[in-house]
Structure 1
Amino acid sequence: MSYRYKIASVFLIGFFLDCINIFMSAIALPSIASTFNTGTANVAWVANSYILGMTLVIPMSTWLASRYSSRNVLSFSMVLFGCSVFFCGLSTSLYELIGWRFIQGIGAGLMIPIGQSLTFSLFQQKQRAKVSTFIMMVALIAPAISPTIGGLIVEHLSWHWVFFSSAPLSIIVSILAWYWVDNDNKADSERPDIKGLFLVSTALIALLVGMSIYSNSQYGIKAELIGTFAIVAALILVGIYIEHDKNHHDPIINLSLFKNNKLTLSIIIYYAIPGVFTGINLLNIFFLQDVLHFSADKTGMFMILYGIGAFIAIIACGKTYNHIGPKKLFVISLLIHSAGVASLLWVHLGSPIYVIILAYILMGLGGGLGANCAQTTALMDFDEHQMLKGSVIWNINRQISFCVGAAFFTMLFNLFCMNAHFQNADAYHLTYLIAALIGIFTLIFIVKRQKVTL
């Protein structure tokens, strides 16, 4: 095997591990919530803490690689990932599990950008398209099969083994990285914007904590005030960062890049489609298992349908992107995805299973089309100098959209559950309705502001 394919293999296996750990653990959340006797808002932090760890370290990964060498950082990241995922499985409390998931996210956050950068540097022009296809296939296959595998593990073993199962492969990747990646010379590089990173990370944590606390009825009025304070604090920190961005020559998130219409539109789409789906899928996992009494493995199988829809959409996007253009494709993806979310309104105890099948296929079609189109469009106008800064914004945005989507819809659901007029199933359906409407409002925004002709 040539050197560049060894590097690509290390990156793709590490990327696969990251993807399956997001979706396998999601299927296990109802079982984890039952074990620790907690609700959806609290157990959502099992996913949020992982993404927070990634968000925190992604902007520092290239600096660490230049300072300590790519081989050392890649190998260490997978050791950290493997050890933390093992301790996730040994966790005896929810807070312990959340802590180890945060560390696991740091390991993934080091691996992904460095591995991608090394791989892309070795595959140029037309060859890069082949690698991009491999990456898209991993990004498609892992979410499609991992919920089913995770469901089978939960049903026949326990949720602990959802985490244990990833440890051996991560250690193998660490060994491969140590022996296959050249020990490149360390180079002095400019220290990253630590203050900006602190402000962004703290603002995100405050926002997620505020929504989580605010949505828990058992905490009482005093806790709700604390939650409101946390959300206000997040907004204040965002304001401080805006001033910091004006005075720093190389901020961690360069806000001036948001003047690029394609980047801004792609970010909005990512919140309206993948962000919304992350939150709705999380809630629907609980709905299917707790209300409809589906098994974990049966629940996980619906993601295969999502993957089939996404696969079809990705192929369609590649064939039609240059002909139709991104804005019209965004409109089509929002329509299809919102229709899929709205289909969940007709899912109830005793309803035919084809309604759920239709919902996941439509969400897969809309999600695959919207995400792939956004990925293609976001950095299209950037030159080589702006590409790295734009890439940082894009990768951080992707992680934050997942966090915010999960936290926001979990908060809405719990707020509806507090209302005595709503039964549990009603709270789920009302949350699905709002999610569908968010897609429609985003569609109207694109049509009016971006002057899209239908």
Structure 2
Amino acid sequence: MTYRYRVAIIFLAGFFIDCINIFMSAIALPDISRELHISESSVVWVANSYILGLTLIIPLSNWIASLAGARFTMMVSMVIFSIGALLSGLSTDFFSLTLFRFIQGVGGGLLIPVGQALTVGMFKQDERARISTLIMAVALIAPACSPAVGGALVDHFSWRWVFLGNIPFSLITAALALLWIRAEKTTAHRPDLAGLVLVSLTLTALLLGMSCYAAAVSNQIALALLLTGIVLALWYLRHYRRKADPILDLSVLLNPRMGFSVLIYHAIPGIFSGVNLLSIFFLQQVLGWSASETGLMMVLYAAGAFCAMMTGGRLYNRIGAAPLFLTGLLLHAAGIALLSLVGSAHGLPLLIIAYLLMGSGGGIGASTAQTTAMLDFTDERLARASTVWNLNRQMSFSIGAALFTLMVNLLQQQTTITSAYHYTFLIAAGLGLLPLLRLKQLIPQPESLCHQKKS
């Protein structure tokens, strides 16, 4: 096995662990909510605290790797992740659980951007579709198996095993990093710590504001937190313009391919994370499904995504990104809209079709975004783009969950619980189509096509 594929295996293993951590833990949230006596809007912080750990460490990961070396950084990241998983599984109260999940996020956030930049940099631009296919295959396998396995663990043992079950995988990945990664160091500038604080505080304030509003703790406090988050975001933009080497190089978003792909991740995986979380609560608490039965829905999602991804991978170089993005957005939104018709009388057939459609749209959209996002970057700019890409990926999951939890809780104050879920699914389907307004920027203009033919 060549060195670049060994590096790719370690990165993909870390990515697999991260995906398992997101989808398997979501299945356990209803049980965690009941056992620890917390609301639906509060239990989302089991995921949000993990995202905040990622937010803090992802922008620092490449700098840490430049000091300690990629091998040591990737190995230690999985050790920290394992410690966080162990402590999360042993937690006896909500505060300690969210704290240890934060530690898990710090561990996961070290490996993924370092591994992705290292892996992608070893493949030429015309070969990156191949590695993107491998990345998306992992992104499908994890959601396919982890919810069903997680549901079985919850039903037959305890939600704690959802976290403890990650430990063997993360320790094996740590060992492979130690054995396979070369002991090399690179150079990097001192990180922008002020910018890091602003980015972390911005996300914390926005997520806390949405959670407080959803939990009806205090509208004044919630609005104050949301306003604080907006002010901090604007403060970071001001700081970014004045800083020669900002913690997040937002200039990579000016690249049309990168900018649109980032938007796609909020419209497809981001929205789906929130929709799937609501679907889990709806199926278990309203329709009375078990955790195992709920987890099997993701097998359908993965099946649809796998078929769509294989088709999209073959068509990417023939028809380009724009038609694939259009197809993915439409299929994904149609699947979410079907969830609004699910009830106790005719739930299963609609759920099967809905998850197959969401999977098909998600597979096309996410894999196309993964291939498209960093096509135009190399060397240091590739590392910067990788940091922004991975941070955006994690933030999209967290924002999607917080936004739609807030939405369904607000709607429950005006209508029945079933209608609240149905209306939220319809709104989510509409929001998922918004990137269509900017799709035109990816369509090659006639002048550029003529230039390509001449050259």
TM beyond 0.5:
yes
* Distance across 1 between alignment mates of 2:127 and 2:256: 29
* Distance across 2 between alignment mates of 1:80 and 1:450: 40
1:45-444 equivalent positions in 2, closer than 5 A: 45-122=45-122, 130-184=130-184, 186=185, 188-217=187-216, 219=217, 223-382=218-377, 384=379, 386-419=381-414, 422-443=415-436
Compared CA separation, residues 415 and 370, structure 1 to 2 (3 A): same
Compared CA separation, residues 350 and 441, structure 1 to 2 (3 A): same
* Distance across 2 between alignment mates of 1:404 and 1:122: 32
* Distance across 1 between alignment mates of 2:314 and 2:76: 40
Amino acid across the alignment from 2:140: L
Q: What is the CA distance between 1:256 and its match in structure 2?
A: 3.0
Compared CA separation, residues 155 and 116, structure 1 to 2 (3 A): same
> 1:327, 1:446 within 8 Å by CA — same for their partners in 2?
no
* Distance across 2 between alignment mates of 1:257 and 1:109: 20
The worse-fitting range, judged by mean Cα deviation, of 50-59 and 2-11 is 2-11
The residue that corresponds to 1:18 in the other structure is 18
Amino acid across the alignment from 2:32: I
> 2:121, 2:382 within 8 Å by CA — same for their partners in 1?
no
* Distance across 2 between alignment mates of 1:180 and 1:377: 29
Deviations 1:136-165 (A, max 9, x none): 221110111110000011111110111111
Compared CA separation, residues 388 and 76, structure 1 to 2 (3 A): closer
Q: Would you say how many aligned residue pairs link Structure 1 and Structure 2?
A: 445
* Distance across 2 between alignment mates of 1:381 and 1:125: 8
TM-score, normalisation: structure 2: 0.92
TM-score, normalisation: structure 1: 0.92
RMSD: 2.2
> 2:78, 2:173 within 8 Å by CA — same for their partners in 1?
yes
SS in 2 for 1:346: coil
Q: What is the CA distance between 1:120 and its match in structure 2?
A: 4.0
Compared CA separation, residues 12 and 150, structure 1 to 2 (3 A): same
Q: What is the CA distance between 1:238 and its match in structure 2?
A: 1.1
* Distance across 2 between alignment mates of 1:413 and 1:178: 46
Deviations 1:405-438 (A, max 9, x none): 111001101111222xx11111111110110111
Deviations 1:280-332 (A, max 9, x none): 00110000110111110110011011001111111121122233332232222
The residue that corresponds to 2:449 in the other structure is none
The worse-fitting range, judged by mean Cα deviation, of 123-132 and 32-41 is 123-132
Compared CA separation, residues 408 and 452, structure 1 to 2 (3 A): farther
SS in 1 for 2:340: helix
The worse-fitting range, judged by mean Cα deviation, of 170-179 and 65-74 is 170-179
* Distance across 1 between alignment mates of 2:256 and 2:116: 26
Match of 2:438 among 432, 440, 446: 446
Compared CA separation, residues 241 and 16, structure 1 to 2 (3 A): same
SS in 2 for 1:57: helix
Amino acid across the alignment from 2:417: N
> 1:78, 1:174 within 8 Å by CA — same for their partners in 2?
yes
Q: What is the CA distance between 1:189 and its match in structure 2?
A: 2.9
> 1:328, 1:452 within 8 Å by CA — same for their partners in 2?
no
* Distance across 2 between alignment mates of 1:172 and 1:426: 46
Deviations 1:5-33 (A, max 9, x none): 54333333222211111111011111111
Amino acid across the alignment from 1:62: N
* Distance across 2 between alignment mates of 1:45 and 1:102: 10
* Distance across 2 between alignment mates of 1:283 and 1:93: 23
Amino acid across the alignment from 1:268: L
> 2:404, 2:424 within 8 Å by CA — same for their partners in 1?
yes
Compared CA separation, residues 323 and 404, structure 1 to 2 (3 A): same
* Distance across 2 between alignment mates of 1:161 and 1:104: 15
The worse-fitting range, judged by mean Cα deviation, of 157-166 and 373-382 is 373-382
The worse-fitting range, judged by mean Cα deviation, of 302-311 and 323-332 is 323-332
Compared CA separation, residues 253 and 45, structure 1 to 2 (3 A): same
* Distance across 2 between alignment mates of 1:2 and 1:365: 33
**Which ranges of structure 2 fall in alignment gaps of 5 or more residues?**
446-455
Deviations 1:121-141 (A, max 9, x none): 555577766544433221110
Amino acid across the alignment from 2:99: G
Compared CA separation, residues 77 and 447, structure 1 to 2 (3 A): closer
* Distance across 2 between alignment mates of 1:242 and 1:164: 40
Q: What is the CA distance between 1:187 and its match in structure 2?
A: 5.1
> 1:272, 1:439 within 8 Å by CA — same for their partners in 2?
yes
The worse-fitting range, judged by mean Cα deviation, of 338-347 and 266-275 is 266-275
The worse-fitting range, judged by mean Cα deviation, of 117-126 and 50-59 is 117-126
SS in 1 for 2:235: helix
Q: What is the CA distance between 1:57 and its match in structure 2?
A: 0.9
* Distance across 2 between alignment mates of 1:378 and 1:172: 30
> 1:331, 1:446 within 8 Å by CA — same for their partners in 2?
no
